[in-house]
Amino acid sequence: MFVQIHTVILRYLQMELKSPFTTSFGTMKTRPVLLVEVVDEDGVCGWGEGVAFSAPWYTEETIETTWHMLETFLIPLLFQAPVYHPDELRDRFSIVRRNYMAKAALEGAVWDAFAKRHGVSLSSALGGEKKEVEVGVSIGIQPITNILKRIEQALAEGYKRIKIKIKPGWDVDVVREIRHHFPDVPLMVDANSAYSLRDIDRLKALDDYELLMIEQPLAVDDIVDHAKLQANLNTPICLDESICSYEDAKRAIELKSCRVVNIKIGRVGGLTEAKRIHDLCQQHHIPVWCGGMLEGGVGRAHSIALATLPHFSLPSDTAASANYWERDFIDPEVTVDNGRIFVRQQIGIGYTVNLTEVERRTVRSKIYKRSRG
Ligand code: OSB
Ligand code: MG
């Protein structure tokens, strides 16, 4: 059985976040979403989501570069030949350098169509086993009283761990204050690359607060300084931005640049690559967890399916739809019950895309057709 995609529809959605999200880089109030719909010869649909933002602060990609790469290179490559298994797309797309979020958006849609054709859930198609996944929340930079309130709320909702964003000058004091109010809460921090080795004393001071890990303290493309830092820290370093491929993960493990890896489907170029990194980390006893990109429902569904793989042993950054949106564009919306998401067993991503909700937010869309003959 194979999937021959003959139509791809790209949609640019403008979503409004319930509350602004601030990282070491800046504040986001809205979130553009690139929705990818693929349709095969028998009318089976698959859905993917591009996770690049409007500005290239997290990686070099933006929603516009993603659209361009899809339109000019990746969709034509997909149309060229049938897909017997979505794993083939990693090779087929490799003639395009990097542009991982663009690749992941299209590959994810094909994975969904593939699972639907085979009558299985995306989780099963990937080899996932878990029936539920544990999740935490990521809380942006904001006045400390708001952070404390958000933590209390998240714990009341059962979230399994709390992550806060830090930056130079907004770190040790904030963590100390949180620990004063919540001495035992599973807590971690994410710097989104805001420090350099010159800040080593400040980062070492975080060792006193029993953090689960420090996520991406140093440069986005670094694994050498992270190794030096890790050798001087008791707290595990978790790499996010620095790991864009299996090879990146391999080198980081070899250099001991981190003790934990955050896997995001978009950042690494798709589910196939995410699975390869998962397997590699499993072999090396490096715990992994599934990161988040403030996704809409389709991206969220993909992250849930990925996190059902056996070695995802730490809570994901996949909070409930209601943590981000007044109304998500899938049915049902993603809900969290005592810190867990129950994995839907329906075929494909397991959620239905609500076209009314999609169209309400669509700024532009374009249909691409495979030419026959
Ligand atoms: O670094 O993990 C990150 C959000 C946007 C970009 C990068 C990151 C994040 C988060 C939030 O931390 C994760 C989420 O709730 O989706
Ligand atoms: Mg991060």
Measured from CB, residues less than 6 Å from any atom of ligand 1 are: 58, 138, 190, 192, 240, 291-294, 317, 319
Per-residue pLDDT, averaged over 323-337, amounts to 98
Taking the CA atoms of 285, 286, 287 and 288 in sequence, report the sign of the dihedral they define.
Answer: negative
- The C-alpha atoms of residue 77 and residue 159 are separated, in whole angstroms, by 41
Q: E strands within the chain? A: 5-22, 27-40, 45-50, 132-134, 137-139, 162-165, 187-190, 214-215, 237-239, 260-263, 288-290, 330-331, 340-342, 352-353, 362-369
Query: Across residues 254-261, what is the average pLDDT?
Result: 98
What is the dihedral sign for C-alpha 49, 54, 60, 64? positive
* Among the bound ligands, the one closest to the CA of 215: 2
Q: From the CA of 80, how far away is ligand 2's center (Å)?
A: 36
Q: What percent of the chain has pLDDT over 90?
A: 99
Report the distance separating Cα 186 and Cα 283, nearest Å.
26
* Atom of ligand 1 at shortest range from CA of 323: 15
Place of tokens 């980062």: 203
Dist. CA 145 → ligand 2 center (Å)? 23
pLDDT at residue 1 above 90?
no
Q: What kind and span of H or E run contains 86? A: none
Indicate which atom in ligand 1 lies nearest the CA of residue 165: 12
Distance (Å, rounded) from C-alpha 257 to C-alpha 111? 32
Residue 240 Cα, ligand 1 centroid: separation in angstroms?
Answer: 10
Task: Judge contact between 83 and 110, C-beta under 8 A.
Answer: yes
Instruction: Give the closest residue (by CA) to ligand 1 atom 14.
Output: 292
| Distances, alpha carbon 31 to alpha carbons 52, 65, 293, 295, 340, in Å | 9, 16, 10, 9, 25
Contact 322, 19 (CB under 8 A): no
Span 170-190, mean pLDDT?
A: 98
Residue 346 CA, ligand 1 centroid: distance in Å: 27
Of the ligands numbered here, which is closest to the C-alpha atom of 23?
1
Q: Of 254, 259, 266, 260, which is closest to residue 293 (Cα–Cα)?
A: 266
Position in ligand 1 atom list of the atom nearest CA 291 = 2
Which strands, in side-by-side order, build the sheet including 362-369?
Answer: 45-50, 27-40, 5-22, 362-369
Region 46-67: mean pLDDT is 97
Nearest CA to ligand 1 atom 7: 293
What number does the ligand 1 atom closest to the CA of 264 have?
2
Q: What is the pLDDT of residues 93-113, one digit of tens each?
A: 999 999 999 999 999 999 999
DSSP element (H, E) containing 149: helix 144-156
| Residues forming the active site | 165, 264
Q: What are 233-250's pLDDT values in tens digits?
A: 999 999 999 999 999 999
Query: Whose CA is closest to atom 12 on ligand 1?
Result: 138
CA of 216 to the centre of ligand 2 (A): 6
Of residues 288, 351, 345, 341, the one with CA closest to residue 124: 345
Mutate to test the pocket of ligand 1, among 294, 298, 304, 318 (most ligand atoms within 8 A of CB): 294
Query: 363: helix, coil or strand?
Result: strand
205-232 pLDDT per residue, tens? 999 999 999 999 999 999 999 999 999 9
Segment 190-218 shows an average pLDDT of 98
Per-residue model confidence (pLDDT) at position 373: 53
Distance CA(108)–CA(316), nearest Å, equals 19
Instruction: Pick the ligand that lies closest to the CA of residue 317.
Output: 1
Ligand 1: residue of 23, 28, 160, 336 to mutate (most ligand atoms within 8 A of CB) is 23
Q: Whose CA is nearest to atom 13 of ligand 1?
A: 292
- Express each pLDDT in 289-300 by its tens digit: 999 999 999 999
Q: Where are the beta strands (DSSP E) in 273-370?
A: 288-290, 330-331, 340-342, 352-353, 362-369
Atom of ligand 1 nearest to the CA of 190: 1
The answer on pLDDT for 271 being more than 70 is yes
For residue 3, what are its two tokens? 């999937």
